[in-house]
Amino acid sequence: MAIATGEPTRQSTFEHHVLDFLAYLEFERGLSRNTLEAYRSDLLQFRTYLEAHHVDVLNAAHADLAAFMAGLAQGSETRPPVAAATLQRKTACLRSFYRYLRRENLVEGDPTADLRAPRKQQKLPKVLSRDQVAALLSAPTGTTPPALRDRALLELMYACGLRASEAIELHVGDLDLQAGVLRARGKGSKERMVPVGREAITAVAIYLRRGRPLLVGAREERHLFVNQRGGGLTRQGLYKIVQRHAESVGLRDAMSPHTLRHTFATHLLAGGCDLRSLQEMLGHADIATTQIYTHLSAERLKDVYFRAHPRAAKDA
């Protein structure tokens, strides 16, 4: 009977630690809801492993965590190996979790101190050429409210390097068209100011004057970009808009909404923008994240070089 009554207590204790940890991440660290959901899923998976091996979360050693990660990396007959990027996230989750437990004086040591995840293979993002961008931005034609909205949306995403989530969360009051600046809400609810170019300002001004009022009608709606019913545009709605216009100019397989953000960054660097300014405009917490665009620019320069130099052709 002691074992039967003790098991729920151990499980509920683990859940109590997880809930406190997630609350700490949300209210003190300002992590996004998506990250919190991912961490919750990771910790529940870790709990299942610990229970199967009769290990208490507060007594887990480095060997327990290493075995857990190794099992994920290797996979099994019923489960494929976990991707390197996901393993890195799970490792970060466990490190943060045990740092929190140690801060709360629930554990003495840190079993994740030497925990390592496989390095994620860096894949260079897809980027559009200037001609491809011009074709995409000119794809929404006509003067109907949806066409004016789509043109303003695409222009603004390329002009400011917005994430999809940032674009759909924009409020009308986040834009100052006179000053040419925009307030974007990034990951963890962090705000940043981004300049807005002339073409985007013009497209948004026309949409606000001739398109959005007809879509919104009499309802009160703060979101800048709205759907056909006048409500805020969803992530799925934005994706469909981008894909529809990309397909119309032959770019369906070359892009996603995030491609415009990658293209914004690459074109700015190619035009002479410094890395620190680009980091601030993209809202990256770590400049190492921004540095991928320097690698991308280098790869594009090499392609141009090998195509153009008479004594550098790869097949020579």
Q: Which two tokens stand for residue 99?
A: 């740092």
Active-site residue (options: 17, 149, 163, 223): 163
Q: 126 near 259, Cβ under 8 Å?
A: yes
- Judge residue 229's burial from the number of C-beta atoms within 10 Å of its C-beta, 0-12 exposed, 13-18 middle, 19 or more buried: exposed
Spatial separation of the C-alpha atoms in residues 75 and 64, rounded to whole Å: 17
Maximal C-alpha separation, the chain: 83
Query: Considering Cα of 178, then 181, then 183, then 184, what sign does the dihedral take?
Result: positive
- Of the listed 149, 212, 245, 261, which one is catalytic? 261
Cβ–Cβ under 8 Å, residues 256 and 140? no
The answer to whether residue 209 is catalytic is: no
Does the active-site annotation cover 47? Answer: no
Contacts of 31 (CB under 8 A, 6+ apart): 25, 39, 187, 188
Cα distance from N-terminal residue to C-terminal residue, the chain: 80
Find tokens 């980027």 and name the residue: 127
Which DSSP string corresponds to 245-291?
HHHHTT-GGG--HHHHHHHHHHHHHHTT--HHHHHHHHT-SSHHHHT
Which positions ≥6 away from 60 have C-beta within 8 Å? 50, 111
261 is a catalytic site residue: yes
309 has catalytic annotation: no
Annotated catalytic, 126? no
**229 part of the active site:** no
H or E stretch covering 184: strand 181-185
- In angstroms, the CA 215 to CA 227 distance is 7
Tell me which residues are annotated as active site.
Answer: 163, 187, 258, 261, 284, 293
